[in-house]
Amino acid sequence: MPVRICVAIRESTTEGAIAALSRASAWADLVEIRADYIQDLDLGRLLREKPCPVLFTLRSREQGGNYGGTERSRLETILEAARAGADYVDVEYSAFWRAILESVSRQRVILSYHNFEETPASLESLMESMATTGAGILKIATRARRLSDNLKIARALRYATTRQWNLCVHAMGSEGIPSRIFGSYWGSCMTFASLPGSEGTAEGQVSADEMVDRYRVREIGPETQLYGVLGRPLAHSLSPLIHNVAFAARSLNALYLPLEAADIDDFLEFHASYPVQGVSVTIPYKEAACTLAQSLSVEANETGAVNTLVRQKAGWHGENTDVDGFMRPLRRHLHVGRMRVAVLGAGGAARSVVQGLRAQGAPVCIVARDAAKAKLLADQFRAEHARWDQLQHLRWDLLVNATPLGMYPEVERSPIPPEWLTGEWVYDLVYNPRETQLLKDAVLQGCKTISGVEMFLGQAVKQQQLWCGNPVPEQAMRDALDAWMIRAAPGAQVRSSE
């Protein structure tokens, strides 16, 4: 069925709600007014000035809303909204819904059920019970705990289609994002989105502009190929931004989603029902992803970590594009094999860095607060290692920060004091913020710098090449990332490593 987007607005004043309504109409087929957050509710004015169809919702605190008045006054306000011109009104199935259905045309009533704890194994009996009320639209929102909970939503929508019910179902939480994106394709009569730049009304809500422009929900169909990023948590991953931009630039019918899974088996269960063509793998599943692959690249085998899965006839092929992503900006600027390199950290990111550098013959010294881990990594790649307190005395041409120190929200922190920056180049893998405190200090000390944005973009370009071949629309991906960085509020949280 055609995608119907309902943009939910959450404002504290009538004036703010009117302005939000105007903004939301740019994306919305329908706007939900969450009146339980409006402190000076002027129903007449609010509904007289609506620029598009509206859904009026006044949810009590017991139902996850913000209305603190009596149940009687709440129902009276909902009825008043219906008389004043609200196109639809929402009432909870667990509340006094009969009073609304007796006074409002049933086609204008959305009967809603919320489960903030879980997504039950079966929703069919609940839907059957709700359908007997005669409400025009049934809405069910559950809490996803696993990626595979989206499959329960899909099954419920298929069942509703056979009964010809007007049903809206989705799963809340970041694990439930696929149900919001695919909902209309699966048969949901609408999907809820948040107003761009504003606070959402439910966990996991996608902003309306992202719904339309990033995920292209109005174009999803049976031929759409699915890609995604596998990890936990994924709320701030920028991979969906740049990969969906790349697919659009290539004119491919492909979609890239956050696939937040409880574990690898959870991902495999989802994949069995909705096959994924390619996967970016991030924390904490890079090592576990090795077990999924029938074949591994040299980089993935040597690092013991897979950050990219490519679907082939024989099964998954595992790659590690972190190595290529890290090396790309260095190849443009430096003769790495001639440089002495100090690497801060001994975790997964450091492993990819050391592998890339040693493959070019660069002498590497690994410095970590956990000296045992530094030694273990150094022994694997025939590198040197040193204690953290020895770093200030080391001579290096290139310093690489492979720790998360300096990442949002601790943007004023740096892994080392400025006076220790005595080499020529400093490369920080953290890319939020783009210019970390370490890089700021490095510039003041006369060092040349490379931002972690370059590695993030580089590894994604390599992934696009593996999945879809050349030419890769790198400039479109870079432009999208730059535009996001400019628009984002200072310190907006994103992952530092994909």
Q: What share of the chain is helix, strand, coil (3-state, %, to 5)?
A: 40, 20, 40
Active-site hit among 50, 139, 152, 286: 286
Q: Is 28 helix (H, G, I), strand (E, B) or coil?
A: coil
Are the C-beta atoms of 460 and 203 separated by less than 8 Å? Answer: no
In the numeric block, which tokens belong to residue 488?
A: 């984002």
Say which amino acid occupies 261: A
CA distance 145 to 138: 22
In the numeric block, which tokens belong to residue 319?
A: 């790659």
Torsion of CA 210, 307, 278, 2, to 10 degrees: -20
440 is catalytic: no
Are the C-beta atoms of 458 and 324 separated by less than 8 Å? Answer: yes
Distant-in-sequence, close-in-space partners of 167: CB < 8 Å, separation ≥ 6: 127, 137, 138, 139, 140, 156, 157, 160, 187, 188, 189
Torsion of CA 43, 46, 49, 54, to 10 degrees: -90
- Angstrom CA distances, 229 to 166, 178, 365, 498, stand at 32, 12, 32, 9
Torsion of CA 191, 173, 242, 438, to 10 degrees: 150
Are the C-beta atoms of 308 and 228 separated by less than 8 Å? Answer: no
Give me the helices (H) in 102-256, please: 124-131, 149-163, 177-186, 208-209, 239-249
Dihedral (CA of 60, 61, 66, 69) sign = positive
CA distance 384 to 40: 66
Q: 384 has which bridge partners?
A: 365
Q: What residues are annotated to the active site?
A: 286
